[in-house]
Amino acid sequence: MLSSIIPVGSICSDDAVSFVVWGPFLSDCAIHIYEPEDLTIPMEKDSRGYWRGLLKTHEKKNRIRYKYRINKLKEYPDPASRYQPYGVHDRSEVIDFSAIKKCEITEKRPALDDYVIYELHVGTFTPQGTFEAIIPRLPVLKELGINALELMPISQFPGKRNWGYDGVYPFAVQNSYGGPWGLRKLVDSCHQIGMAVVLDVVYNHLGPEGNYLSQFAPYFTQKYKTPWGEAINYDDAFSDEVRNFFIYNALFWFSEYDIDALRLDAIHAIYDESAYLFLEELADKTIEFCHTFNKTHFLIAESDRNDPKFIYPKTLGGCHLHGQWCDDFHHALHAFITKETKGYYSDFGSLSHVAKAFKQGYVIDGCYSSYRKRKHGRKPQHVKRSQLIVFSQNHDQIGNRYLGERLSCLIDFSELKMICVLTLLSGFIPLLFMGEEYGEKNPFLYFVDHGDPNLLEAVRKGRLKEFADFHGDKEGYDATKQEAFNKSIINWELRTEGTHAILWKLYQHTIALRKKYKSLICTENISPIVNFNEEEKLFFFLFNNKQESLLGITNFDSVERRYLIEEEVYPLGKILDLADEKWSGPGSISPDQLFASSTSIPISPKNIVLYYGC
């Protein structure tokens, strides 16, 4: 670990376990060991408020379970616990990572701009809901073309059912998923086939149940409020050690589990007015860690600010994060195809928005937002296409619908095919949400499993209020019931049946096209030429680097259209036509070759045709 970072929690060495916990205002702190024998170890406080204690042992360090006894009164689990075998309120367990077998023989992992990301929820991706149950499905995902597996948050949360954003132990791997051993096996299995692993981490808040950090130190601040709970203290008094806690957490995932990239949840809720932003410091320490240990790791931000400064280099005043989710791409496609324009979709709905999203990612780029009733965002002038992650579906956009409907239940099969091609061949980094690739029909619902009945009732009322704008009085699922979780488990075998199998093959084929033409569509300084006809619902894009060209024409209308190509292009050959019978289309009416500009091309209803030439 870096010398400037103070490790916290339980750290194993050959002959001892050291314990470190931050508690600057505590008058006393001790380690109460419950297993394998009952004993109490006093701790000493240093000048920065860290309490330290040591357990001498030459034996195996498994099943050492403990709590901290503070001020000689109450006992709490370790805020930096590595494992909570009995849940969020009970004892913490020491994990000797040197004893967890790591696989040293791995395939080369992809660079970030090569990522094709597959986001999944561990609990609902398989009937078993564990890390190890994912492993047999990795070869199928690899065959599809996936090379980066993104896990929704896995830090210990209350109960067995949760999206993971209510986690309260940032270092502890969820016990019901298989704990540290299961995660290590999954990561190794991914790396053995050249697949990267992205982990979703939450640094903007902690969940309410089992959150004991305030008992130890000022981890939170009253200066700000988040939609989900107390704001983490990144810029108030004593914030240096809070930053240390979360930066160490990021480096911990890199060092102990060999996670390739972190997706930083909702950075717009990381409130920080300091001159040296926490996110900038996190990026600096990540870069230092990579240089020190000759490794490669990435930081990907989720933000609704449409502010490119987070991914700008330091020379442009940025935080130098590596990538950023781009919600506008999703919103533009979704609102145009589904015609839903309530809530945050009120800023979208026209083909012009789709064209703008395809060209630069951001749609609301400093212009007026009717949803926010003010100007929003900035132009992404220096953003590379390979820095934006785009998607037509993800856990938020499905699960934050009151009924959890996927696009497969909202639009027709032709439109599902079109969205597949536009997302994967946009030149941005594409992300798929589990089941999207074959048109999964089961919903993905929000679900929780709190032990506190007051929290459960608060969730019920909160969901009703949150989605009133979208669904009014429509009856949805109760997020606190087992049913919501059960209905969200995907039907993996569906991918081999009927049109589901055709859609799976299309995703596979289109991912292969992305790989084949990546050097053209992902070129840093080239944005595609885009044109559109709002009335006729025609959308045109052209990637052209003077050596080769990729041209796409989309007819969103339900009737046949013709598109007049006016751009000067090389002779082009057709490489994809969704009207072909093999894609369950009615048969192609578009020509196989294009020889000159000023050519009028017929396009089947709800269809995309692609041409390539060099």
For 252-268, how does the pLDDT look when each residue is reduced to its tens digit (9 = 90+)? 999 999 999 999 999 99
Sketch out the chain's domains with CATH numbers. Answer: 9-99 (2.60.40.10), 202-325 (3.40.50), 528-613 (2.60.40.1180)
Bridge partner list, 599:
565
Q: What residues are paired with 168 via a beta bridge?
A: none
Report whether pLDDT(320) > 60: yes
Instruction: Tell me how crowded residue 111 is: count the other CB atoms within 10 A of its CB.
Output: 11
Mean pLDDT of 546-566: 95
Residue with tokens 């950090």: 213
What is the model's pLDDT at position 59? 75
With 0-12 CB in 10 A as exposed, 13-18 as middle and 19+ as buried, what is 504?
buried
Structure tokens at 378: 């900035």
Nearest Cα residue to 268 out of 303, 301, 309, 234? 303
Place of tokens 């280099």: 313
Mean per-residue pLDDT for 74-103?
A: 94
- Residue 517 pLDDT level (bands cut at 50, 70, 90): very high
- Considering the chain, what is the average pLDDT of its residues? 95
Dist. CA 543–CA 521, nearest whole Å: 6
**DSSP assignment string, 114-131:** G--EEEE-HHHHSSS-SH
Tell me what the mean pLDDT of segment 157-180 comes to.
97
In this structure, of 90-94, 141-145, 448-452, the range with the lowest mean pLDDT score is 448-452
Alpha-carbon Rg for the chain in angstroms: 25
Over residues 441-445, the mean pLDDT reads 98
Mean pLDDT of 1-14: 93
The whole-angstrom separation of Cα 391 and Cα 526 is 21
Predicted pLDDT at 100 = 87
Report, as residue numbers or ranges, the catalytic residues. Answer: 265, 302
CA distance 126 to 395: 16
Q: How far apart are CA 522 and CA 113, in angstroms?
A: 8
- Average pLDDT value for residue range 521-531: 85
What's the length of the chain?
Answer: 614
Query: Is the pLDDT at 471 greater than 80, yes or no?
Result: no
Section 448-455 average pLDDT: 89
Q: 469 pLDDT band (50/70/90 cuts)?
A: low
Which pLDDT value is given to residue 553? 98
Q: Is the pLDDT of residue 524 over 80?
A: no
Alpha carbon distance 95, 51 (integer Å): 20
Q: Which amino acid is at 306?
A: N
CB 578 within 8 A of CB 605: no
Q: What is the pLDDT of residue 456?
A: 86
Cis peptide preceding 36, ω within 30 of 0 = yes
pLDDT at 5: 97
Residue 474 has what pLDDT? 60
Residue 228: the pLDDT is: 85
Give me the pLDDT at residue 460, please. 82
How sure is the predictor about 336, in pLDDT bands with cuts at 50, 70 and 90?
Answer: very high
Spatial distance between the Cα atoms of 282 and 465, rounded to a whole number of angstroms: 35
Per-residue confidence band for 470, with pLDDT thresholds at 50, 70 and 90: low
**pLDDT, tens only, 389-422:** 999 999 999 998 989 999 999 999 999 999 999 9
531 and 445 Cβ atoms separated by less than 8 Å: no
d(CA 517, CA 499): 26
Structure tokens at 17: 């376990």
Question: Tokens 């945050």 — which residue?
Answer: 344
Token pair in block for residue 597:
């500009």
Would you tell me the crossing angle of helices 413-424 and 498-516 to the nearest 10 degrees? Answer: 20
Q: Which of 199-213, 237-251, 468-482 has the lowest mean pLDDT?
A: 468-482
Residue 504 has a pLDDT of 98
Q: In the structure, what pLDDT confidence band is assigned to residue 505 with cuts at 50, 70 and 90?
A: very high
Local confidence band at 60 (pLDDT 50, 70, 90 cut-offs): confident
pLDDT tens per residue, range 179-209: 999 999 999 999 999 999 999 999 999 999 9
Give the range among 128-132, 368-372, 421-425, 474-478 with minimum mean pLDDT.
Answer: 474-478
Give me the pLDDT at residue 570, please.
Answer: 76
